[in-house]
């Protein structure tokens, strides 16, 4: 067996976990009932599905222990922003524990004192004054000062942990994780820059650790000395004055907690009785470390966790881009960590653990680090927690993939991600699907998106789709363009148009007939970029292409008419991409528009500067895509059912293409 280390059981206190894979805590605020803060069947199904998939330990998302001292509710709308652990949810927690136990898994509940200075902005603007260890500025609304908690208020929160612990053990839950990470309220007490108290909860490191130590004592007193309690902490905050602090820069001056202090903190906490540590990195000031985008290499924080493990005698878990099975196995084999904690990876594929243990890793659907389904979409629209590559995540029993009652012959025109996903799901339901792709390769725009080394997760996703179509025996016809003649000859019951998009050519004087190339041509190797390179367009496509070229030693300038780059992407991804661009010497011109192109210069104009020229040897267009809807326009009335999905409807993100393919494949 290849992955022996991940299969080995491990003890956390008095609880034996069957393997070394844990479900890392995921923010579940968009799964709860927002009017009560309580969980529902959707939450139960979500966690049980990860236990069914083989994870030995399930750690839930965060639950506040009380909502009176530290309020986290939008007063104007009456909506809870964080889940609250309460007696009202006990029937659901009982069911969750029972079902997880039936798969041999263990269940830990993550408890928190609350967000403190990082209270959601709509809560603050609704009239709630956030609290903190000291009178810190509110992160989201800097003009608002937090109220420093009184000593007796801290004691009330400690007591609430004890009260909740008694309930938690009563319903059969196996342990508690105390959330002391990411700059939330407990972390604010333990960190010097946020804690300027003069009572017993302040002072030196041991004084600042009084809060989590009293929480531990309250839990053990109420739930029993043998009841496992783990502590989640960041190895480094990565709060720095440096403008560039991403991807393993070590020389930055740490303004938050650095690794050496975290090692000392870990020693104290485990000596005081915490049964294990769950290690992560970052905080809200360094969001890319706390929610690492795909630009980070897998296993990027192993060295931090291993340093902590060297200094403590309790099990150490590590979360953060650990979804590569080989890296996970090696980390446990070499003793760098004891348990691998996977969050987004188990959202992308709840069967990750079983597939690894069966050495069937080619079947794992990879997380691509986009944050669209798990954070961006829920944050912007209030939608429920889910996953871009796995639309069934978060609604496991609400939208099942059921066998069709009426088998159809379905023609799918286009082998991009929307077409492949639709073909995959429709075939799994029992339809006869024929997928036509006009080029000689499946993948559509995934092909060029997967080219840069920092986008290998996209390459793995493409390989997964190709294998899925093959394993499910989907009939695929390459180098075949769908037209009316083919449709009339085949006479399908339904036609699904998934013909994707093509690059836009903006109305810039002199552009037509120039030697400009687009990103698709460049990334596919059809064109080359040499000398001084100018990229017109600072969206995700333009910036990632610029970074790819700069990492090859090229001289690159990005020109963007808006006041920032990569707008529309999740904040952590945008922050990290901008920092990488800065590190690799990419020059960025914001707020300027390309007005005219000659053979060697681009004329720029903007509101804040006079017209200027920028010289180039290679001009690259990253000015967006437009729908390739020619087939869609000509197929009206050809057969009874015609649908359009993906970019041919409107150019958007991978998330949108997969979701449209999944929905149609599930319902047709």
Active-site residues, by number, are 184
Q: Residue 650 and residue 657: Cα distance in Å, rounded? A: 10
| CA-to-CA separations, 377 to 388, 422, 586, in angstroms, rounded | 9, 21, 29
Residues 569/540, Cβ–Cβ less than 8 Å: yes
169 phi, psi to nearest 5 deg: -65, -35
SS (H, E, C) 418-484: HHHHHHHHHHHCCCEEEEECCCCCCCCCHHHHCCCHHHHHHHHHHHHHHHHHHHCCCEEECCCCCCH
| CA-to-CA separations, 224 to 119, 219, 480, in angstroms, rounded | 32, 8, 68
- Tracing tokens 């989590």 back to the chain, one arrives at 212
| CA-to-CA separations, 265 to 426, 449, 558, in angstroms, rounded | 53, 42, 44
3-state helix, strand, coil in the chain (%, to 5): 35, 20, 45
Residues 277/312, Cβ–Cβ less than 8 Å: yes
How buried is 608 (Cβ within 10 angstroms: 0-12 exposed, 13-18 middle, 19+ buried)?
Answer: exposed
Q: What's 605's DSSP letter?
A: E
What residues does 234 pair with on adjacent strands?
280
Residues 180/194, Cβ–Cβ less than 8 Å: no
Compute how many other C-beta atoms are within 10 angstroms of the C-beta atom of residue 337. 26
Q: Is 207 left (phi over 0), alpha (psi -120 to 50) or beta?
A: alpha
């Amino acid at each position: 067996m290849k992955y022996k280390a991940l299969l080995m059981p491990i003890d956390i206190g008095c609880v034996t976990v069957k393997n070394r894979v844990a479900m890392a805590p995921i923010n579940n605020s968009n799964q709860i009932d927002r009017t009560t803060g309580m969980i529902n069947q959707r939450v139960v199904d979500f966690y049980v599905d990860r236990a069914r998939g083989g994870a030995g330990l399930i750690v839930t998302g965060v639950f506040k222990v009380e909502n009176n001292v530290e309020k986290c509710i939008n007063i104007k709308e009456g909506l809870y922003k964080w889940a609250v652990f309460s007696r009202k949810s006990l029937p659901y927690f009982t069911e969750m524990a029972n079902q997880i136990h039936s798969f041999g898994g263990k269940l830990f509940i993550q408890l928190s004192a609350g967000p403190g200075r990082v209270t959601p902005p709509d809560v603050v603007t609704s009239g709630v004054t956030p609290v903190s260890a000291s009178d810190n500025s509110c992160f989201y609304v800097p003009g608002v000062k937090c109220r420093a908690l009184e000593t007796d208020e801290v004691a009330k929160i400690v007591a609430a942990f004890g009260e909740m612990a008694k309930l938690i053990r009563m319903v059969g839950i196996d342990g508690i994780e105390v959330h002391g990470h990411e700059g939330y309220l407990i972390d604010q007490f333990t960190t010097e820059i946020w804690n300027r108290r003069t009572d017993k909860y302040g002072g030196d490191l041991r004084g600042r650790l009084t809060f989590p130590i009293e929480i531990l004592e309250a839990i053990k007193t109420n739930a029993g000395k043998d009841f496992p309690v783990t502590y989640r902490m960041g190895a480094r905050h990565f709060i720095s004055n440096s403008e560039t602090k991403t991807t393993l820069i070590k020389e930055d001056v740490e303004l938050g907690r650095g690794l050496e202090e975290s090692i000392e903190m870990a020693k104290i906490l485990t000596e005081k009785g915490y049964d294990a540590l769950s290690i992560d990195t970052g905080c809200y000031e360094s969001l890319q470390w706390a929610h690492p985008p795909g630009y980070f290499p897998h296993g990027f924080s192993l060295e931090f966790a291993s340093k902590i493990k060297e200094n403590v005698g309790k099990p150490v878990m590590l979360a953060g881009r650990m979804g590569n099975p080989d890296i996970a196995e090696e980390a446990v084999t070499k003793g760098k960590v004891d348990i691998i904690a996977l969050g987004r990876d188990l959202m992308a594929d709840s069967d990750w653990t079983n597939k690894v243990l069966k050495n069937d890793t080619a079947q794992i659907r990879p997380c691509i680090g986009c944050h669209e389904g798990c954070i961006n979409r829920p944050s912007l629209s209030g939608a429920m927690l889910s996953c871009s590559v796995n639309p069934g995540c978060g609604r496991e029993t609400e939208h099942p993939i059921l066998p069709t009652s009426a088998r159809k012959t379905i023609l799918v025109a286009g082998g991009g991600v929307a077409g492949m996903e639709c073909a995959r799901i429709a075939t799994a339901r029992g339809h006869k699907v024929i997928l036509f792709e006009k080029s000689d390769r499946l993948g559509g725009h995934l092909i060029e998106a997967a080219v840069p080394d920092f986008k290998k997760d996209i390459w793995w996703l493409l390989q997964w789709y190709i294998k899925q179509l093959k394993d499910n025996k989907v009939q695929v016809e390459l180098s075949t363009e769908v037209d009316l003649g083919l449709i009339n000859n085949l006479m399908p019951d339904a036609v699904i148009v998934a013909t994707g998009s093509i690059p836009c050519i903006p109305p810039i004087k002199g552009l037509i007939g120039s030697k400009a190339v687009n990103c698709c041509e460049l990334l596919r190797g059809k064109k080359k970029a040499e000398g001084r390179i100018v990229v017109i367009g600072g969206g995700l496509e333009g910036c990632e292409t610029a970074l790819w070229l700069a990492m090859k030693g090229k001289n690159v300038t990005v020109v963007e008419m808006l006041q920032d780059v990569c707008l529309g992407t999740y904040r952590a991804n945008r922050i990290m991409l901008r920092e990488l661009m800065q590190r690799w010497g990419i020059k960025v011109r914001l707020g300027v528009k390309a007005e005219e192109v000659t053979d060697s210069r681009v004329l720029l104009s903007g509101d804040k500067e006079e017209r200027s020229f920028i010289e180039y040897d290679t001009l690259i267009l990253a000015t967006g895509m437009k729908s390739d809807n020619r087939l869609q326009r000509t197929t009206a009335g050809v057969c009874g059912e015609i649908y359009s999905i993906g970019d041919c409807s409107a150019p958007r993100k991978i998330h949108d293409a997969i979701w449209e393919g999944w929905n149609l494949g599930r319902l047709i």
